[in-house]
Copies of this chain bind each other. A is one copy, B any other.
């Protein structure tokens, strides 16, 4: 019974923790690390400032854990997207689709995600950057594995190391997500991603699939 009480408390605590992280995410992604004070986060999360420090030892740690939390969650989803049954082409297609879905769902997350991916964020201690880098690396590895499997299966030509293929794909995805973020109407990610993916896959597809559906001509 005591266990249950504790469990409820713990759940409550976790919920509060999450509320803080949510508030921090919104504010940090909109204004940047240094333009958001702990007081503002506290206000948005509807906690007293002292309470914030019960959950996180300092601002940097809050930022770190916020990044980590959503990175881990997103990573899990992206990796999952690569594990659907089917061949490697289908996996890659799904990955690109899911990545767009998840990140377009929440612009705040997207901004932070791209920031995190491309830039050694200069706000924060190097050691943290390693952690975050490691997490991203894990995803890259998984993606590289899929490319490698595709190559082994004869689906893709070994034009590039699998790792570089992963890097390239991700960088292109990020660019087009950024374009979408700046002007969603003029640069619809879903449609563009399909086209670019087709191009990307075509360019590395091995010739035995030559009878695959041709790349659609662009309309705009």
- B179 engages A175 (CB within 8 Å): no
Q: Which of B31, B171, B196, B218 contacts A122 (CB 8 A)?
A: B31
A179 near B167 with CB under 8 A, answer yes
**Interchain CB contact under 8 A, B171 and A218:** no
A7 close to B (CB within 8 Å)? no
Complex Cα distance, B119 from A115, in Å, reads 7
Q: Is A215 at the interface (CB under 8 A from chain B)?
A: yes
Distance, CA A215 to CA B204, complexed state (A) = 11
Report yes or no: B119 in contact with A161, Cβ–Cβ below 8 A.
no
Interface-facing stretch out of A32-40, A44-52, A69-77: A32-40
- The B-contacting residues of A in range 162-220, CB under 8 angstroms, are 164, 167-168, 170-172, 174-176, 178-179, 182, 192, 195-196, 199-200, 202-204, 215, 217-218, 220
Chain A binding surface, main DSSP class? helix
Partner of A172, one of B118, B171, B220: B171
Task: Give the chain B neighbours of A199 by CB distance below 8 A.
Answer: 159-160, 203-204
- The answer to whether A172 touches B174, judged by C-beta atoms less than 8 angstroms apart, is no
Fill in one digit per residue for A118-142: 1 if any B CB lies within 8 Å of its CB, else 0: 1111110000000000000000000
**B-side contacts of A203, CB under 8 Å:** 199-200, 202-204
Please pick, from B122, B164, B179, the residue contacting A192 in the complex, using a CB distance under 8 A: B164
What 5 additional pairs, Cβ within 8 angstroms, besides A34-B35, A158-B217?
A: A32-B34, A114-B119, A161-B218, A167-B179, A168-B175
